[in-house]
Each structure stands twice: as C-alpha cells, then as structure tokens.
Amino acid sequence: MTTLKALLRRTHENLLILQEREAKHGGNAPLELLNQIRDHQTAIDLIEQALSSELTEKGLKELKEALRPLLVAGNVEQLDLEQLKLETPRLPFEPETILIPAGPFLMGSLPVSTVPAEETPQHEVNLPAFQIGQYPVTNTQYAEFIKRQRQQEPPKKTGWFLREPPADKLDHPVVGVSWADAQAYCRWLSDQTGRPYRLPTEAEWEKAARGTDGRLYPWGNEWLPGRCNFDSDDTTSVTAFSEGVSPYGCYDMLGNAQEWTSTLWGSDPKENVFSYPYRASDGREEANPTHFHRVYRVYRGGSFRDEPARLRCSVRGNSDPESKIRWRGFRIVLEP
C-alpha cells in the first residue's frame, strides 16, 4: 500500500534526481529531461491538490490516470500507482507521528575522556524518510491495546489496577513493558490501522532526537534545566517539557522514560558486539537472531532517575529484552 503522502515524498525525491542531472548539463539539458522535470512538477501539484481535498475513490482513480503519463523517467524509482490507496484517518488511540526527512545526520560522539567508547566514533549515517512518534506511547494508548488483547498482561508495579492505568497518569509514558510487549503493541497497532508500525532503530531514534548537526541535546549544545524530567522520583506527562523538543518537534527524547529500540547490543551487557559505525545490514537489526546464546537490546533516552551526564542524544544503554522496569517504555515508527 502507498499513501498520497508517501507518493508525494517519492516524487519529490525523483524530481531532485532529475534536477541534478539537468545541472550537470549546464544550460544544454536535453529536451526529454526538461519535459520529465516539468511533468514531475505537474504531478507534485496534482498530488498536493488531492491532499488538500477530501478525495473519493472516484477521485483517486482519476488522479491515477492523470499521473501515469507524468511519472515516466529512466533511472529513477519507478512508482507503482496500483499500490496507491486512500489513507484512513488516524484512529483516536493511534499515536501522533512526525515525518523525519530522508538524508544524512551525525551519529555518535567525538572521542573525549568523558564519553564511553561505544558512542564513538562520530560518523555520518544516511537514512530514508520515516515517521516517528511525537511522544512516547502513553498509558491511555497502551490501555486500548490491553483492553482489546485479553491475553496481554498489563504493566506490573506501575499503578495499573484491573487492567486500567492509574487515573492520574493517563498522559504519562507507559512503563514496565518488555521489548516483546512493545513489539506486540506495534503488531496490534498495525493490524488495527492497516499501517505498518514498528520500533525505531537506534539510528532513527538518534536522528529524531538531535537532527542533522550532531548537537548534544535535542535543544542544542548547552545543558539547560527545565527541558526534561531528570533526577526525580517518577514520570511526568509526555507534554510537560515543550521547551525540550527536538529539531523535528519530538517530545521527551531525553529523560522521563528510557525507550526500547529494535537494535541488538549483543549477548553480554558489558561487551558491545555491534560497534560503530552503524550499519543496519550487519545483523544488528535482526528480529530473531540465532547466533547468540543470550540477547540484549539497545534502549535510548535516559529516564527521570538520571543525572545530566547520562542525558545526551548519543548515550546508548542495553538491557535484557524481558526486563520490565518502571522507568522504561517506547515510542513507535510508522514506515512510509
């Protein structure tokens, strides 16, 4: 399934490729290339118009017919219009997401005495576009999952009672969930919405937290009190620290609750098998690895218990995926 938003993004990407080819020709680009650029610009206008209106199935069919002759170009991604479907509205219990655009960012830390070796070296990682939760998954959102999946155990020792979250913490991040619990929630959410949800990789998480410039904190390079929940006794509302949002507008990327990622650490909590530079293809993103006698997964973001020294965008932690503690939750990624 392809949505209009995804089609618009990919058409923009193809247009940029075509415009780069035009630039290489100087002022003598072939007419065929210029026509392809013009057609892609026209296609973008049509898609943007469709996004600003309430498109019907009939309107979608007409849009596909108008786009077919326009989205023709060699050596760019071929867009399958048959996969284009109307996007259903976001459901009431569905987390809000923010688009993180494709492109490179600086991951990790510069090697200084105060930085653990597993955070180095700082390096460039290029990621495709993705959407990530604007907030960690909240108790209210997780409660819908518990309500509909009777076989799923609710979080323990975090104030839940009779499968209901604490009434004074509905907008707090859900905590006390294992890595498997978080994965089960993502699968359930995908089934309910028809949209592909999953946990973020640690690279996706870090880009969403710090942007592209390698900053130490979501808000910049200077530690500023009042930007996140730290050195405290409990979680707070996910909207409590609006001045601490990331460059993309993500809340609670530091402090409040640690967040599970999909990424493998290794089989020993003291030995990082998957060192930097980050490469998603080297096995660290395997969902069911068979070559480890035991598995630890990476978490990010720190929690309300941490002091500022442990609250940087590049800090990496690891834990047994079966662990359930009152200072760890998760946020979701929506694939394009």
| pLDDT given for residue 250 in this prediction | 98
| pLDDT given for residue 227 in this prediction | 98
- For residues 84-114, one letter each, b for 16 or more C-beta atoms within 10 angstroms of the residue's C-beta and e for the rest, the string is beebeeeeebbbebbebeeeebbbbbeeeee
Neighbours of 6 (CB within 10 A): 18
Distance CA 137, CA 126 (A): 26
Distance CA 231, CA 307 (A): 5
| pLDDT given for residue 57 in this prediction | 85
Mean pLDDT in each 10-residue stretch from start to end of the chain (336 residues)? 84 92 92 93 94 87 92 75 82 95 96 93 95 98 97 95 97 98 97 93 98 97 97 98 98 98 96 95 93 94 96 97 97 92
| pLDDT given for residue 1 in this prediction | 64
Inter-residue contact 14 to 40 (CB < 8 Å): yes
Pull the structure tokens for residue 140.
């209210």
Inter-residue contact 267 to 292 (CB < 8 Å): yes
Smallest CA-to-CA distance from 73 within 39, 98, 96 is with 39
Instruction: Work out the angle between the directed axes of helices 179-193 and 139-148 (0-180°, nearest 10).
Output: 80
Distance CA 200, CA 335 (A): 10
Residue 318: its H or E element: strand 317-319
